[in-house]
């Protein structure tokens, strides 16, 4: 990627860190940094995306502002990450959405809801839309099957393609592709790091979630959100299987697998996103990149709304409110799918890539000399 003021600041910070190394025990960033003496823009991108923004290094830093070195690594990395999201976006011109991502995500979400509502109203008689529906296929009486599948499937497949291309751009730009394909051991290590958020352990004692005190709240909320999201995704997958393969259309009874997965997942998402929003509100802003908070709030809000409307739909699906609620929920899901490659959501992709890269470096380091 290009040299910018942000890459220069990240490099300046890392050169101070690399001469100090007191923070070595906090997370993966510092051991990865120590393998290097000079930092290319690709290295900087890799390290910035490896950073989990736990802020341990900021509070421990003897060079943090107001010291004349003015070192604020979490902030420098957060700003650089935002630039990498724009850099790797596919197609490239859409990288511009990361400029004012909070606004973009909020607008697209609003448009998604409006569009679905308008479409629904246009194609459905009010008598159908506001009536209570029950039994198999009830949802499709409000929004036809073909529309739902085309929109959901289309946007989701597009999102997957855009994410894959983004990952390819990241992998190439950080020089990771030169390291050859990842072996099973680095993949296992990286998966472990991703699924446990090991780097939010702060060396075993938690992170500076709010201030200079240590806690594991952020890690736990993120787990609730992440596994909630996975459960919701599993719920959708099972439902798709039931509907399209088994020929057993929604809605499903409360104790069925898709509804159970979705309910628990939705609860996890609500708790996780609400908790993360709360942490952002109450936390010390000094190590944060304030201009980027909008993007965080927008995605957390969208995820929270997705699960809230889903849970509401479950609760009121037997009533006349179902039609409108379904339209709103699907509008939000549609927006979420569309925004997967163009929101803070991509952090998971590049973070995972950086963790895989780090695992590859670590395993290579353990290999015998001359290998």
Partner 1 sequence: MDWDRVYDVLVVGGGNAALCAAVTARQAGASVLVLEHAPKAFRGGNSRHTRNLRAMHTAPTSVLTEQYLEDEYWDDLLRVTGGQTDEELARLTIRATAEALPFMEACGVRFQPSLTGTLNLSRTNAFFLGGGKALVNAFYATAEKLGVEILYDTEVASLRLDDGFVRQAEIISRGFPRTVRAKTVVASSGGFQANLEWLKQGWGPAAENFLIRGTPYAKGRVLRDLLDQGVASVGDPTQCHAVAIDGRAPKFDGGIVTRLDCVPFSIVVNRHGERFYDEGEDVWPKRYAIWGRLVAQQPDQVAYAIIDSRSERLFMPSVFPAIKSDTIEGLAEKLGLEPSKLAETVRGFNAAAGHGSFDNSRLDGCHTEGLTPAKTNWARRIEAPPFSGYPLRPGITFTYLGVKVDRNARVLMQDGRPTANLFASGEIMAGSILGKGYLAGFGMAIGTVFGRIAGREAAKHARN
Selected from 5, 62, 246, 370, the binder of partner 1 by CB under 8 A is: 62
Q: How far is the CB of 51 from partner 1 (least distance, A)?
A: 15
Interface with partner 1 includes 57 (CB under 8 A)? yes
Return d(Cα 316, Cα 133) in angstroms, integer.
Answer: 11
What ranges in 197-321 are assigned the alpha helix state H?
217-241, 257-282, 293-316
Selected from 4, 40, 42, 60, the binder of partner 1 by CB under 8 A is: 60
Q: How far is the CB of 49 from partner 1 (least distance, A)?
A: 22
Nearest to 14 by CA among 44, 55, 45, 52: 44
Return d(Cα 308, Cα 300) in angstroms, integer.
Answer: 12
Selected from 92, 172, 205, 248, the binder of partner 1 by CB under 8 A is: 205
Count the Cβ atoms, other than its own, within 10 Å of residue 365: 9
Residue whose CB is less far from partner 1, 56 or 323: 56
Residue whose CB is less far from partner 1, 32 or 313: 32
Residue whose CB is less far from partner 1, 25 or 249: 25
Q: How far is the CB of 23 from partner 1 (least distance, A)?
A: 6
User: Of 23-31, 117-125, 242-250, 270-278, which part binds partner 1 (CB under 8 A)?
Assistant: 23-31
Q: Are 143 and 115 in contact (CB under 8 A)?
A: no
Interface with partner 1 includes 37 (CB under 8 A)? yes
Selected from 137, 154, 183, 213, the binder of partner 1 by CB under 8 A is: 213
Return d(Cα 185, Cα 193) in angstroms, integer.
Answer: 12
Coil vs helix vs strand at 207:
strand
Residue whose CB is less far from partner 1, 59 or 167: 59
Return d(Cα 147, Cα 140) in angstroms, integer.
Answer: 9
Sign of CA dihedral 210, 28, 166, 9: positive
Strand partners, 215: 207
Selected from 2, 5, 68, 246, the binder of partner 1 by CB under 8 A is: 68
User: Of 29-37, 141-149, 174-182, 265-273, which part binds partner 1 (CB under 8 A)?
Assistant: 29-37
Interface with partner 1 includes 203 (CB under 8 A)? yes
Interface with partner 1 includes 15 (CB under 8 A)? yes
Q: How far is CA 341 from the centre of its chain?
A: 10
User: Of 31-39, 109-117, 168-176, 235-243, which part binds partner 1 (CB under 8 A)?
Assistant: 31-39
SS (H, E, C) 314-355: HHHCCCCCHHHHHHHHHHHHHHHHHHHHHCCCHHHHHHHHHH
Return d(Cα 168, Cα 210) in angstroms, integer.
Answer: 34
Interface with partner 1 includes 3 (CB under 8 A)? no
Selected from 3, 8, 22, 177, the binder of partner 1 by CB under 8 A is: 22
Residue whose CB is less far from partner 1, 19 or 245: 19
Strand partners, 207: 215
Half-sphere exposure (Cβ direction) of 182: Cα atoms closer than 13 Å: 21
Selected from 16, 121, 182, 312, the binder of partner 1 by CB under 8 A is: 16
Interface with partner 1 includes 74 (CB under 8 A)? no
Which residues are CB-neighbours of 210 under 8 A, at least 6 positions away? 217, 279, 282, 283, 284
Q: Name the residues that contact partner 1, by CB under 8 A.
A: 15-16, 18-26, 31, 34, 37, 56-57, 59-69, 203-205, 212-213
């Amino acid at each position: 990627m290009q040299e910018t003021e942000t890459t220069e600041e990240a490099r300046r910070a890392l050169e101070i860190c690399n001469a100090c190394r007191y923070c070595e025990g906090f997370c993966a960033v510092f051991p990865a940094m120590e393998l290097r003496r000079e930092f290319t823009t690709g290295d900087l991108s890799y390290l910035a995306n490896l950073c989990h923004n736990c802020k341990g290094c900021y509070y421990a830093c003897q060079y943090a502002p107001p010291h004349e070195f003015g070192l604020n690594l979490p902030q420098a990395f957060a700003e650089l990450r935002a630039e990498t999201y724009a850099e790797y976006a596919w197609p490239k011109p859409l990288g511009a959405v990361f400029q004012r991502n909070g606004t973009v995500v909020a607008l697209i979400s609003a448009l998604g809801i409006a569009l679905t509502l308008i479409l629904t109203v246009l194609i459905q008689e009010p008598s159908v839309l506001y009536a209570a529906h029950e039994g198999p296929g009830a949802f499709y009486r409000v929004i036809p099957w073909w529309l739902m599948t085309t929109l959901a499937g289309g946007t989701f497949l597009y999102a997957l393609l855009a994410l894959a291309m983004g990952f390819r751009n990241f992998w190439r730009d950080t020089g990771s592709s030169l390291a050859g394909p990842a072996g099973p051991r680095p993949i296992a290590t990286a998966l472990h790091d991703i699924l446990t958020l090991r780097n939010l352990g702060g060396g075993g004692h938690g992170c500076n979630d709010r201030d200079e005190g240590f806690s594991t709240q952020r890690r736990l909320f993120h787990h609730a959100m992440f596994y909630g999201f996975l459960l919701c995704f599993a719920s959708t997958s099972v439902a798709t299987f039931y509907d399209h393969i088994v020929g057993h259309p929604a809605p499903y009874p409360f104790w069925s697998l898709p509804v159970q997965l979705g309910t628990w997942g939705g609860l996890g998402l609500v708790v996780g996103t609400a908790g993360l929003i709360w942490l952002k509100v109450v936390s010390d802003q000094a190590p944060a990149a304030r201009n980027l908070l909008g993007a965080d709030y927008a995605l957390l809000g969208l995820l929270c709304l997705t699960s809230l409307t889903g849970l509401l739909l479950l609760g009121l699906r037997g009533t006349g409110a179902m039609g409108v609620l379904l339209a709103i929920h699907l509008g939000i899901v549609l927006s979420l799918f569309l925004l997967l490659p163009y929101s803070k959501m991509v952090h998971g992709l590049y973070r995972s890539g950086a963790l895989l890269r780090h695992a590859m470096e670590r395993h290579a380091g353990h290999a015998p000399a001359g290998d």
